[in-house]
């Protein structure tokens, strides 16, 4: 972990060699996480784990304002970048000329770490945006658990909150998101 933290500092100082070394160290873990999540995407998903990781990494390196404090902060940034790419991809696909008009689907009551057979990424993103208006830390916790697969304890550590608070936030966010997504499927 100390090596990754050192490399993060070197990357931020502009060392391109450190950026290459960092990618080598974290690539397999990021790709494994991305592949696991993409395997549970809706049928017809054309985004590959390799492309997702590469695009996220390029976006992260292109953001000069970001300062990664440690490994956890880096993976949180990676999770956010990957999530934005998935949302952007879903938005493109939702356009009528690209097969829009897809129906929303509920998330089941299982942990958000395990994606159901299909997830309406746009509906989930809308719900997360709505929750972020009042509880941005809970949204960050959901993203860390949902996409990077961090445990509640690890996600709480990244966010600087206690295990108890992280557990409470996780239970609330799951229930709130399920309720919000079910509202979207009710007939008018």
Instruction: For 13-51, write each residue's pLDDT tens digit.
Output: 778 788 888 888 888 888 887 887 777 676 666 778 888
Following CA atoms 188, 100, 32, 168 in sequence, which dihedral angle do they give, to the nearest 10 degrees? -20
- The CA distance from 143 to 119, in Å, is 14
Lowest mean pLDDT among 32-36, 110-114, 172-176: 110-114
Contact partners, residue 77, CB within 8 Å, separation at least 6:
60, 66, 68
Report pTM.
Answer: 0.53
Angle between helices 16-38 and 71-94 (to 10 degrees): 60
Fold of 103-188: Arc Repressor Mutant, subunit A (1.10.10)
- The CA distance from 148 to 56, in Å, is 13
Number of C-beta neighbours around residue 94 at 10 A: 15
Q: What is the mean pLDDT of residues 101-127?
A: 57
Indicate if the pLDDT at residue 130 is higher than 70: yes
Number of C-beta neighbours around residue 133 at 10 A: 8
Where along the chain do its domains lie? 1-102, 103-188
pLDDT value, residue 102? 45
pLDDT value, residue 101? 53
Indicate if the pLDDT at residue 116 is higher than 90: no
Indicate if the pLDDT at residue 107 is higher than 50: no
Fold of 1-102: Rna Polymerase Sigma Factor; Chain: A (1.10.1740)
pLDDT value, residue 131? 93
HSE-up of 35 (CA within 13 Å, CB side)?
A: 7
């Amino acid at each position: 972990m100390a090596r990754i933290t050192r490399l993060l500092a070197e990357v931020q100082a502009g060392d391109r060699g450190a950026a290459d070394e960092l990618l080598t160290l974290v690539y397999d873990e990021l790709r494994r996480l991305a592949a696991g999540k993409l395997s549970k995407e809706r049928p017809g998903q054309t985004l590959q784990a390799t492309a997702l990781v590469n695009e996220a990494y390029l976006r992260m390196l292109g953001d000069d304002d970001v300062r990664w404090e440690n490994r956890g902060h880096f993976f949180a940034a990676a999770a956010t970048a990957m999530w934005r790419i998935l949302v952007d991809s879903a938005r493109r696909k939702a356009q009528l000329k690209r097969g829009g008009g897809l129906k929303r689907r509920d998330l089941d009551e299982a942990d958000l770490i395990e994606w159901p057979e299909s997830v309406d990424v746009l509906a989930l993103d809308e719900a997360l945006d709505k929750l972020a208006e009042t509880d941005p830390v809970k949204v960050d916790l959901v993203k860390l658990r949902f996409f990077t697969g961090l445990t509640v304890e690890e996600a709480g550590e990244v966010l600087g909150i206690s295990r108890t608070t992280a557990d409470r936030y996780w239970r609330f966010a799951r229930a709130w998101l399920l309720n919000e997504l079910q509202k979207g499927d009710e007939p008018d």
